[in-house]
Amino acid sequence: MVIVRNDSGWVAQIQAADRLSAAQYSAMAEWIAPEPHSTILDIGCGPGGFLPYLADVAPTAHIVAADHDDESLDAARSLVTTLALGDRVLIEHGNVLDPDSQSGPFDLVVTRQMVRHLPDQIDAIRRLAARLAPGGRLIVGEGGLAPHYLPFELGRGTPGLMYRLVTAQAIRYAGMRAELDHPVASRFGWNVVLEKAGLVVEETTSFVWDIPAPVADDARAHIRSTLLRLLTGPTRRYLVDEDVDTLEWLLNRSNPDGIDFRRDVFILGASTLHRCALP
């Protein structure tokens, strides 16, 4: 069985992004609009940042949150306890690819940014659809636009660094997929993947993550840690020397034009949700 492990520091990174995503997550949860008294599964829930928003729009629902990563589950458990949601949200260990770890069925299955990590995405979607109760809906959060943080002109290096960082991340992601056990190349965009898995896509829409410049300290800290991960992690090898130099310059804490002082950094991205049903 293939286990995709989260790298070190990843959970904290997702939690920081979650804390900055209230507006986007509220809009997503309102669009999902679960039926009252429904049963909901958030699979690949990570540290659980979306759970409070689901719980908010579905006050009478019973929610199960599952992930195969223990560190993520611990973080989700602690969030649910802090927010006193323990009687409505059950946190459980679950691997989409393991037939023995499947609870359900559920009226609503939600998965965000997980299927992209699995070796055979069509197969993964079929497994998720198999967990739907009759008349249920599967919400798949995949696709959208990678977040941008930097203006086009920085005053150092060739303009357009942010576009090259996004490209480097895409190359790294493709390499990560190729390293999985028995990866099945996906030849299609997400709406077609969902159709090929036997689902009817009822509606697709995208939600912006929009924190305009000038940003507050929490957003600035997230931008810094994201850029630092790009500089020090596996994406670095896909950057040319000049861009590595610009990143180091940006992250230098004593640089008055660096990340810690710039008034022109921002967060702008978009996440797409697909609402699907069985035919």
Ligand X SMILES: C[S@@+](CC[C@H](N)C(=O)[O-])C[C@H]1O[C@@H](n2cnc3c(N)ncnc32)[C@H](O)[C@@H]1O
Which among 215, 223, 244 is positioned nearest to 232, based on CA atoms?
Answer: 244
43 burial via Cβ count (<10 Å: 0-12, 13-18, 19+): buried
Which residues are at the interface with ligand X (CB under 6 A)? Answer: 4, 6, 14, 44-46, 49, 67-69, 72, 94-97, 112-114, 117-118
The residue number with the shortest CB distance to ligand X is 46
Task: Name the residue nearer to ligand X (CB basis): 103 or 113.
Answer: 113
Task: Name the residue nearer to ligand X (CB basis): 117 or 236.
Answer: 117
Q: Within the chain, where are the H helices?
A: 10-19, 22-32, 51-57, 70-82, 121-129, 161-179, 190-196, 217-232, 241-251
Closest distance between ligand X and the C-beta of residue 81, in Å? 19
Task: Name the residue nearer to ligand X (CB basis): 21 or 246.
Answer: 21
Task: Name the residue nearer to ligand X (CB basis): 40 or 161.
Answer: 40
Task: Report whether 64 contacts 92 (CB < 8 A).
Answer: yes
Task: Name the residue nearer to ligand X (CB basis): 74 or 257.
Answer: 74
Closest distance between ligand X and the C-beta of residue 138, in Å? 14
Q: Whole-angstrom Cα distance, residue 91 to residue 67?
A: 8
Task: Name the residue nearer to ligand X (CB basis): 60 or 101.
Answer: 101
Closest distance between ligand X and the C-beta of residue 114, in Å? 4
Closest distance between ligand X and the C-beta of residue 245, in Å? 29
Task: Name the residue nearer to ligand X (CB basis): 197 or 250.
Answer: 197
Closest distance between ligand X and the C-beta of residue 97, in Å? 5
Terminal-to-terminal C-alpha distance of the chain: 30
Closest distance between ligand X and the C-beta of residue 207, in Å? 12
Which residue is associated with the tokens 């997550």?
25
Q: Which two tokens stand for residue 156?
A: 């150092």
Q: Whole-angstrom Cα distance, residue 131 to residue 163?
A: 39
Reduce the DSSP state of residue 142 to 3 states and report it.
Answer: strand
Which among 116, 111, 147 is positioned nearest to 270, based on CA atoms?
Answer: 147
Q: Whole-angstrom Cα distance, residue 167 to residue 175?
A: 12
Closest distance between ligand X and the C-beta of residue 256, in Å? 34
